[in-house]
């Protein structure tokens, strides 16, 4: 027989980016501990609709830990009280019967609130557009062994590429820095031959865009790495700093 719990939810409600927000309190009962956090939110919204009340707006898409859309700040932690997962992978067994759960959106000037728990993360798209790509003509698809790449470099590039751009690093940082995100996107290209051609322009452009969009500076507290659902290493930040320094010295 499934175990069920009763919970008190303190949820941030806000009608828009220029509106004043507030916490509202809700009660949910008989929540299966095998259900996911987002399924619990679905149950709450069904309850609100049945009561002719406005449901809570929150982001979600794949619900498989791939897209990074489920950006919730739960009890003071991005994605909640578990390690290396997104909110959609968080299960209610992590909470106790009678517990009060506080649910908020990401808190960062560069991520303005659209409604309730949904924030606008177009800032990340703008950073990618400024240089997080390879635009050189590399011809057709080469054979797998045509461009020799050392396995450690290939593995590290793949680790960096696993970043899903959820924004947990920004939410965890006391300065709302996007350095872990930017460094991951720089590393996944800087480590590969195809990314060398535009390396200098890329690092400078992406850092400049990050600063323009209002993200804070990195103070190396490591909170971003701890809360990253894909365990992106802060070692990538060192690489970004080196790439940026090379671009400035070559001016």
CA distance 243 to 223: 23
DSSP 125-156: HHHHHHHSS--S---SPPPTTSS---HHHHHH
Q: Tell how strand 100-104 and strand 77-78 pair up.
A: unpaired
Q: What is the pLDDT of residue 145?
A: 67
Please state whether 125 falls in left (phi above 0), alpha (psi between -120 and 50) or beta: alpha
Task: Report which of 27, 25, 32, 20 is spatially closest to residue 10, judged by C-alpha positions.
Answer: 25
CA distance 230 to 85: 7
Domains for the chain: give ranges and CATH numbers.
Answer: 4-104 (3.10.20.30), 121-249 (1.10.1060.10)
Burial of 114 (0-12, 13-18, 19+ CB in 10 A): middle
Tens digit of pLDDT at every position of the chain (251 positions): 579 999 999 999 999 989 999 999 999 999 999 999 999 999 999 999 999 999 999 999 999 999 999 999 999 999 999 999 999 999 999 999 999 999 999 999 999 999 999 999 999 999 999 999 888 776 676 676 677 888 999 999 999 999 999 999 999 999 999 999 999 999 999 998 888 888 889 999 999 999 999 999 999 999 999 999 999 999 999 999 999 998 887 76
Q: Between helices 179-190 and 235-249, what is the axis angle to 10°?
A: 70
Asked if 105 and 119 count as a contact pair (C-beta separation under 8 A), the reply is yes
Task: Report which of 127, 245, 122, 240 is spatially closest to residue 188, judged by C-alpha positions.
Answer: 240
CA distance 72 to 10: 13
SS (H, E, C) 62-112: CCCCCCCCCCCEECCEECCCCCCCCHHHCEHHHCCCCCEEEEECCCCCCCC
Q: Which residues of 162-176 are buried (b: 16+ CB within 10 A; e: fewer)?
A: ebbbbbbbbbbbeeb
């Amino acid at each position: 027989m499934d175990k069920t719990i009763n919970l008190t939810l303190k949820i941030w409600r806000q009608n828009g980016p220029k509106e004043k927000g507030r916490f509202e309190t809700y009660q949910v009962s008989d929540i299966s501990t095998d259900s996911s956090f987002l399924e619990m939110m679905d149950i709450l919204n069904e309850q609100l609709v049945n009561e002719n009340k406005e449901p809570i707006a929150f982001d979600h898409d794949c619900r498989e830990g791939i897209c990074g859309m489920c950006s919730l700040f739960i009890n003071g932690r991005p994605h909640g009280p578990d390690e290396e997962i997104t909110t959609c992978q968080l299960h209610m067994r992590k909470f106790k019967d009678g517990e009060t759960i506080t649910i908020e959106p990401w808190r960062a000037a560069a991520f303005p609130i659209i409604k309730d728990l949904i924030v606008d993360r177009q800032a990340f798209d703008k950073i990618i557009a400024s240089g997080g790509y390879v635009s050189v003509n590399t011809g057709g698809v080469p054979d797998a062994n045509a461009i020799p790449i050392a396995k450690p470099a290939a593995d590290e590039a793949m680790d960096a590429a696993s970043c899903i751009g959820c924004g947990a690093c920004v939410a965890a940082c006391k300065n709302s820095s996007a350095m872990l995100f930017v460094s991951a996107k720089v590393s996944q290209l800087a480590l590969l031959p195809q990314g060398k051609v535009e390396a200098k322009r890329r690092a400078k452009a992406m850092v400049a865009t990050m600063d323009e969009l209002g993200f804070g500076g990195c103070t190396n507290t490591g909170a971003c790495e701890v809360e990253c659902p894909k365990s992106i290493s802060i070692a990538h930040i060192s690489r970004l700093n080196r790439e940026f320094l090379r671009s400035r010295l070559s001016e």
